[in-house]
Chain A
Amino acid sequence: DAGITQSPRHKVTETGTPVTLRCHQTENHRYMYWYRQDPGHGLRLIHYSYGVKDTDKGEVSDGYSVSRSKTEDFLLTLESATSSQTSVYFCAISGDVNYGYTFGSGTRLTVV
């Protein structure tokens, strides 16, 4: 979807290195989310934001941090990447609670 972009699309990194994934939206939506998708586990929420500098944890937040300094950008940081964080990461946006979600195209992260 043109209103939400994720970068990078693919990344290979070494265990123990920091990694930052970026989500950028042009829709001025209040809510932004980071999910990971793994075989056998489906989509799981990592962190979400309900406004600038307002963030909260999801069900699988350990090892991840987020920041949102502007409405349009939501960053996901792996402070010290581990092999268990190899996954496909999706960003999503939503307006108010009666809006649906729009997902980005995903970032495929491999930690070696």
Chain B
Amino acid sequence: KQEVTQIPAALSVPEGENLVLNCSFTDSAIYNLQWFRQDPGKGLTSLLLIQSSQREQTSGRLNASLDKSSGRSTLYIAASQPGDSATYLCAVRGSSGSARQLTFGSGTQLTVLP
């Protein structure tokens, strides 16, 4: 059974810092990995999608990397802003049998202080 772990569970940084969120997964048989953002009381917004054949994806100040063989992904946020405060979720889509659905990590709650 696929398990996804996110470290740290919570993170508080001053505005302007660069930061890294970590995600690890136990089964490397995946189609892709997706990073989401969730604001309190809201739905999930997709940030980046990385296919299993890719090493990284970039969108604005966000950069996500994927090392499938080691079961790890990182989300790098450059020059953090208070508006980046949210919970960040990592999810992997397995490529075998019943694992063909997204399995989520428990999230990292990010607070960027003005």
Contact = CB atoms under 8 A, between A and B. Distances in A.
A contacts with B: majority SS = strand
B43 A43 contact: no
B91 A101 contact: yes
B44 A100 contact: no
B80 interface: no
B70 interface: no
B101 A33 contact: yes
A58 interface: yes
Interface residues of A, number: 17
B34 A101 contact: yes
- The residue among A45, A100, A103 with the most chain B CB atoms within 10 A of its own CB is A100
Interface stretch (B18-26, B59-67, B71-79, B104-112): B104-112
B107 A100 contact: no
Given A33-B101, A43-B89, A45-B101, A100 B46 contact: yes
A83 to B, nearest CB: 21
B11 interface: no
Contacts of A90: 43-44
- The residue among A42, A43, A90 with the most chain B CB atoms within 10 A of its own CB is A43
A58 B100 CA distance: 11
Given A100-B34, A101-B34, A58 B101 contact: yes
A74 interface: no
A101 B105 CA distance: 15
Interface of A: 33, 42-43, 45, 48, 58, 90, 92, 97-98, 100-106
